A and B are shown apart, each in its own frame.
Chain A
Amino acid sequence: MEKILSKEKLREWVGKLDGCEVHAPAFADSVWNYAPVQTGGDIDLSHTNTVGSVKAFAFPQREVFFRFEQAKGGAPVLTATVPEPRPTVVFGVRPCDGRGMPRNDKVFSAEFKDPYYWARREKLTLVGLACNEPHSPNCFCQSVGGSPHSEEGLDVLMTDLGDRYHVKAITPKGAEAMERAGDAFNEAGAADQAEVERVHAESRQQPQRPIGDLAAIPEAIKQNFDSPVWAEMAQHCIGCGICTFLCPTCHCFDINDEATGANKGERVRTWDNCQFPDFTMHTSGHNPRHDLGARLRQRVSHKFLYFVENHKTQQCTGCGRCISECPVGIDIVAVLERVGQS
């Protein structure tokens, strides 16, 4: 299903999504981030990209697995807290973030399906917005097999055509969200089709960070496992971990018990980070990834070697956040280039 939505009717579409939680990018505190849209409220899709990625809608930074209560010597009472969210529609998802979600789906499925992730994920509808222009000088979606108008992982793809949006349903879930406001949309004519193709073709010509030979990277990383390159490239790293927190595909987490009172508490999952030393430190003090170089190697290898070996695709969609937001300028594209040359 492909339709045309005039820009002033976007509000009407959002208004028809009653019963759903709607989120869209909002500019606050000098950054774009997703924020809830009030019923009948405006949404502004003039954003570049959100600082935080869309993964948090299925995999929040902190979530409670279950509550426990146990008097000393008594029986524990466990109450699972698997969420039962309302259907949630997220607008303005950039195609790089859209492509992140099927990668996260693989991690939270496999042999053991994660009930917390899937409770949220199944209720999630992602309405993407094609990038007519790169949102940052660090964009490299096309260098990792994506495109500025990739449909992968999205339920709907919108393309800005100036005074109107071209809106395409990718999945049945996406079509359902569009049908809620059937009247708001117009049929897409031949001229609209030609225009959207032209805009997409032009977006692919915009400058992006190149990665030489993507297919050669896994072997290059393997050959460089013991290379001094990693320590060299990680020299300035302060181990803050922002690269992984903002990444649309980083999924590592911690599990801890937190007390909420005498004899009771919660078992909690929080995002964790391969750049932190205690991520892998054994209780004995032994640490298999004992320095910043080993930890940078892990981040890059996970995305461009191990994930490829396990899932036949990179665990990176080229959003460029880890480059743009790194306080000391560590640049994953430059690291790949350096490793490729070593």
Chain B
Amino acid sequence: MMDNIYLPQVGRIAGIEEETQGARAIKTFKVEFPNGDGFEHACGQCAMLSIFGRGESMISIASSPLVKDYKQFSIMKMGRVTTAFHDAQVGDLIGIRGPYGNHFPMADWKGKDLVFIGGGVGLAPIWPVIQTAVAQSSHYGKITVFYGARTSRDIMYKADFERLRGLADVQLSVDAPEQGWQGYTGFVPANLMDKAPSPDNAIAITCGPPIMIKFVIQNLQKLGFADEQIYTTIENKMKCGIGKCGRCNVGKDYVCVKGPVYSWAELKTLPQEY
């Protein structure tokens, strides 16, 4: 009998971390596989998470593939399923199927400097790449992480950032002036121009709100990054995750299969349907 691609495995919520608060709060969930099944993933891939009775949502896997005991997901409270996740408790059993989509071509980046530029919850899809890169730092050159949030309270992975400081050049920003803020004040693209990382033998990886990505890419180009040196991820509404339900396409590509990771060289050839 063929595999039932729609039947999820059972995942157990092993930990819940409150990242940010408010109407669109973000929580990070550690999900284990209590039945001993699970799956391997690569950086940038996603999984379809479900709360039975509420439905499924495609969420990027925010933990490094080097972490074998659990997978991590950062979920913003937005709709029916994500709200159900925000109401969930440690120990709750959920549905999980995947991994879906392509991945960042990290094997091609050996020996290169890596410049990460994230904003808001858009840090989650590139977080596994950052974690993998610092864990295997001998494979890469200099690692720089730009990350910005509206206010210091909206910064994700605060504890992890403290650890990251020793392993990478961390450049945090908040949008508006704040008492006692030590980092940059202003938008992420401006912070990028201020620090002006070199494009020589470097790869830039960016994810965040569409408007931020747009200006980050413009600024990377000003700094001399070629289209092939810039990577980002895109998202569209998804239901099946396997290129059949028909809604997440950008031109001929289903993002759930051919994406979510694109170089700017590839993405700029696709129609603006995301």
A residues apposed to B, CB below 8 Å: 65-66, 68, 70, 73-76, 78, 80, 82, 107-108, 110-116, 118, 225, 251-257, 259, 263, 265, 267, 269, 272, 274, 279-284, 286, 288-289, 294, 298, 301-302, 305-306, 309-310
A309 near B252: Cβ-Cβ < 8 Å: yes
Taken together as a complex, chains A and B put the C-alpha atoms of A269 and B242 apart, in Å, by 14
Taken together as a complex, chains A and B put the C-alpha atoms of A280 and B79 apart, in Å, by 14
Size of the chain B interface, CB-CB below 8 angstroms: 45
Taken together as a complex, chains A and B put the C-alpha atoms of A282 and B76 apart, in Å, by 13
> Is B54's CB within 8 Å of the partner chain A?
yes
Contact residues of B between 157 and 193, Cβ < 8 Å to A: none
A255 near B6: Cβ-Cβ < 8 Å: yes
**Which residues of chain A are within 8 angstroms of B242 by Cβ–Cβ distance?**
111-112
- B50, B79, B239, B244: which contacts A107 (Cβ < 8 A)? B244
A112 near B236: Cβ-Cβ < 8 Å: no
29 contacts between A and B (CB under 8 A): A65-B6, A66-B7, A68-B52, A68-B53, A70-B93, A78-B8, A78-B10, A111-B242, A113-B2, A113-B5, A114-B5, A115-B1, A115-B6, A116-B6, A255-B239, A256-B55, A257-B54, A265-B52, A267-B6, A267-B56, A272-B245, A272-B246, A279-B247, A282-B235, A283-B78, A283-B82, A284-B78, A288-B236, A306-B252
B residues apposed to A, CB below 8 Å: 1-8, 10, 50, 52-56, 78-79, 82, 89, 91-93, 95, 210, 235-237, 239-240, 242-252, 257, 271-274
A111 near B257: Cβ-Cβ < 8 Å: yes
CB of A138, distance to nearest CB on chain B (Å): 24
CB of A254, distance to nearest CB on chain B (Å): 6
CB of A14, distance to nearest CB on chain B (Å): 31
**Which residues of chain B are within 8 angstroms of A65 by Cβ–Cβ distance?**
6-7
CB of B41, distance to nearest CB on chain A (Å): 16
A225 near B92: Cβ-Cβ < 8 Å: no
- B6, B50, B92, B250: which contacts A73 (Cβ < 8 A)? B92
**Which residues of chain B are within 8 angstroms of A272 by Cβ–Cβ distance?**
239, 245-247
**Which residues of chain B are within 8 angstroms of A305 by Cβ–Cβ distance?**
252
